[in-house]
């Protein structure tokens, strides 16, 4: 009898246990479901906010964009790296009005009066303009650009350093005024999207990537993001804190890759999947294939020419469709070596009317390259990007036609004008320059 009662008791206890376990399991599953649901809802809201912000930005951009140059005051100048050859300039509109937002990745055309330009044959006049990428997230009050002081290329130390970058470093102070055109450029991150992205910056080419990265951090983005920063050594490293902030985002991974030595401060650091990973080597296809889970990303990159060429080719070979490959070059593909690219089928005459000068084109990459080869400068043709992006060199064609065999002008060119930095004569040519 006692045994039967014991068995019955055990059976009851067993049944209660099973029911309790079932309830706990159901409860846990329910909790998990609620958490996932909340996370998805949060993510959806973040996406909606980002889309709304992007639309608002578009509206404000249309409303406040300006034409031509506008005066900006440098209110803060900050050296960013231990070597002190990379410096940020915080720019505030002199008229005190608010600014149009920009898309992260775009650049400003900055013009300065170079009073002591040295002997550079690249210097075509006193007012010199160059493109500088916006290096921070958009806001309505100020812009930031980050400029690397450019030395003469290796092996040509007798040449002068870069005119405008050195001018920025040496002469532009807090309180200086600079002429600036409204943000432009078609290399930018679409912040209204939620698709996975890879952002790659090499050397000072990290500036547009910083803007993209900070824009994602500003909206606490949950977008899957992989950020690669390629640099030679700790001497080149800029804005570590911005990378740390990005690494704290839920779906963001940051990789610092040193082609030289890893700074001592990071040598013993334990990397975790989501925190900054310090590795040795270049950011190349081997690096991407080793670290990325797949090739299903939009890739954005900017850096030294060899890195860019290798990535563009390598990503294509890895099966990444062209529309997912986005990049910005800070300089033309090769420095316009003054040699002719190919033998021209005929020699064409280019007449610079205002200067009363005639030069024969014989296959050089552009009219700009042809002028440099012949040591000819005309103050009528200014240049900044030398890649058909900024229209600084826009020149009226008085007679004849041009062709764009290597690079197409960004946004086209009005009839009757040409961009000498990328065009070549298609017939004998007369320019208002
Ligand atoms: C879209 C875009 C965004 C950019 N963003 C940035 C940015 O964020 N940060 C940044 O630092 N840069 C950026 N740049 C590059 C920047 O616009 C300038 O090209 C750079 O600062 C060099 O300008 P510079 O006037 O100092 O050099 P330049 O005077 O134009 O000289 C360029 C190089 O030529 C050398 N040189 C001088 N004379 C000769 C000669 N006779 N023959 C051959 N070589 C000679 C110089 O030593 C120098 O190395 C960007 C460029 C573009 C197109
Ligand atoms: S220099 Fe920028 S378009 Fe020619």
Domain 70-152+160-180 has CATH 2.60.40.10: no
- The C-alpha angle with vertex 71 and arms to 65 and 72, in degrees rounded to 5, equals 95
| C-alpha–C-alpha distance, residues 305 and 175, integer Å | 34
Q: Do the Cβ atoms of 46 and 220 come closer than 8 Å?
A: yes
In sequence order, the 6+-apart residues with CB closer than 8 A to the CB of 179 are 69, 70, 71, 72, 110, 111, 112, 127, 129
Question: How far, in Å, from the CA of 388 to the mean position of ligand 2?
Answer: 5
| C-alpha–C-alpha distance, residues 52 and 84, integer Å | 39
Q: What is the pLDDT of residue 228?
A: 97
The token duo for 51 is: 């889309």
Cβ-based neighbour number of residue 333 at 10 Å: 13
- pLDDT tens string, the chain, 433 residues long: the values are 556 656 666 666 666 667 766 666 666 666 665 665 566 566 666 655 565 565 555 555 544 679 899 999 999 999 999 889 999 999 999 999 999 989 999 999 999 988 755 544 444 446 889 999 999 999 999 999 999 999 988 887 788 889 999 999 999 999 999 999 999 999 999 999 999 999 999 999 999 999 999 999 999 999 999 999 999 988 888 998 899 899 999 999 999 999 998 877 776 666 766 677 788 999 999 999 999 999 999 999 999 999 999 999 999 999 999 999 999 999 887 544 444 445 556 789 999 999 999 999 989 999 999 998 888 888 788 888 999 999 999 999 999 999 999 899 988 999 999 999 999 999 999 999 9
E-strand stretches of 85-175: 86-93, 107-113, 127-133, 143-148
Q: What is the pLDDT of residue 29?
A: 61
Cβ-based neighbour number of residue 406 at 10 Å: 15
Burial of 64 (0-12, 13-18, 19+ CB in 10 A): middle
| C-alpha–C-alpha distance, residues 410 and 63, integer Å | 23
Q: Do the Cβ atoms of 146 and 135 come closer than 8 Å?
A: yes
The token duo for 165 is: 């970058």
DSSP conformational letter for 345: S
Question: Rg of the chain's alpha carbons, rounded to an integer?
Answer: 28
Question: How far, in Å, from the CA of 109 to the mean position of ligand 2?
Answer: 11
Question: How far, in Å, from the CA of 335 to the mean position of ligand 1?
Answer: 10
Burial of 129 (0-12, 13-18, 19+ CB in 10 A): buried
Q: What is the pLDDT of residue 261?
A: 83
The token duo for 105 is: 């990745």
- CATH level 3 topology of 197-328: Rossmann fold (3.40.50)
- What length does the chain have? 433
E-strand stretches of 281-419: 298-302, 325-328, 348-352, 357-361, 395-399, 402-403, 417-418
Q: Do the Cβ atoms of 199 and 209 come closer than 8 Å?
A: yes
Ligand nearest to the CA of 384: 2
Domain boundaries, the chain: 70-152+160-180, 197-328, 348-431
Ligand nearest to the CA of 419: 2
**What is the reported pTM?**
0.81
Q: What is the pLDDT of residue 288?
A: 97
In sequence order, the 6+-apart residues with CB closer than 8 A to the CB of 103 are 57, 138, 183, 188, 189, 190, 191
Ligand 1 shell residues, CB under 6 Å: 107, 120-122, 130-133, 145-148, 150, 152-153, 159-166, 185, 204, 207, 328, 330-331, 385, 387, 389
| C-alpha–C-alpha distance, residues 107 and 182, integer Å | 9
* Nearest alpha-carbon partner for 89 in 144, 167, 140: 144
The token duo for 299 is: 């890739």
The torsion angles phi and psi of 120, rounded to 5 degrees, stand at: -55, 130
- DSSP H helices, 181-252, are 206-218, 240-247
Q: What is the pLDDT of residue 1?
A: 54
Q: What is the pLDDT of residue 64?
A: 63
Q: Which atom of ligand 2 is nearest to the CA of 383?
A: 1
Q: Which CATH number fits domain 348-431: 3.40.50.1220, 3.40.50.300, 3.10.20.30, 3.30.565.10?
A: 3.10.20.30
């Amino acid at each position: 009898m006692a045994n039967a009662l014991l068995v019955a008791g055990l059976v009851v206890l067993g049944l209660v246990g099973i029911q309790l376990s079932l309830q706990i399991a159901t409860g846990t599953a329910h909790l998990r479901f609620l958490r996932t649901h909340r996370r998805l809802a949060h993510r959806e809201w973040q996406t909606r906010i980002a889309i709304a912000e992007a639309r608002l930005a578009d509206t404000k951009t249309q409303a406040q964009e300006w034409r031509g140059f506008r005066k900006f005051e440098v209110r803060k100048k900050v050296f960013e790296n231990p070597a002190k050859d990379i410096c940020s300039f915080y720019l505030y509109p002199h008229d005190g009005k608010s600014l149009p937002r920009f898309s992260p990745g775009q650049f400003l055309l900055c013009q300065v009066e170079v009073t002591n330009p040295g002997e550079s044959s690249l210097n075509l006049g006193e007012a010199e303009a160059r493109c500088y990428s916006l290096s921070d997230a958009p806001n309505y009050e100020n812009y930031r650009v980050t400029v690397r002081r450019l030395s003469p290329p290796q092996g040509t130390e007798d040449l002068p350093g870069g005119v405008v970058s050195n001018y920025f470093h040496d002469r532009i102070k807090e309180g200086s005024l600079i002429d600036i055109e409204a943000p432009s450029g078609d290399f930018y991150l679409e912040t209204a999207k939620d698709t996975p992205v890879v952002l790659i910056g090499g050397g000072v080419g990290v500036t547009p990537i910083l803007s993209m990265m900070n824009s994602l951090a500003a909206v606490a983005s949950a977008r899957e993001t992989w950020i690669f920063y390629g640099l030679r050594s700790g001497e080149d490293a800029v804005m570590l804190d911005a990378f740390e902030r990005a690494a704290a985002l839920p779906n963001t991974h940051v990789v610092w890759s040193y082609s030289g030595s890893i700074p001592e401060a990071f040598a013993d650091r334990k990397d975790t999947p989501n925190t900054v990973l310090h590795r040795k080597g270049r950011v190349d296809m081997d690096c991407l294939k080793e670290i990325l889970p797949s090739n299903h990303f939009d890739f954005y990159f900017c850096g030294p020419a060899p890195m860019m060429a290798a990535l563009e080719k390598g990503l294509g070979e890895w099966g990444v469709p062209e529309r997912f490959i986005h990049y910005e070059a800070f300089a033309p593909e090769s420095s316009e070596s003054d040699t002719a690219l190919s033998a021209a089928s005929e020699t064409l005459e280019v007449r610079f009317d205002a200067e009363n000068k005639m030069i024969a084109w014989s296959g050089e990459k552009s009219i700009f390259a042809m002028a440099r080869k012949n040591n000819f400068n005309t103050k009528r043709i200014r240049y900044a990007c030398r890649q058909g992006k900024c229209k600084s060199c826009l020149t009226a064609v008085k007679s004849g036609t041009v062709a764009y065999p290597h690079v197409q002008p960004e946004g086209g060119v009005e009839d009757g004008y040409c961009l000498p930095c990328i065009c070549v004569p298609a017939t004998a040519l007369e320019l208002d320059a």
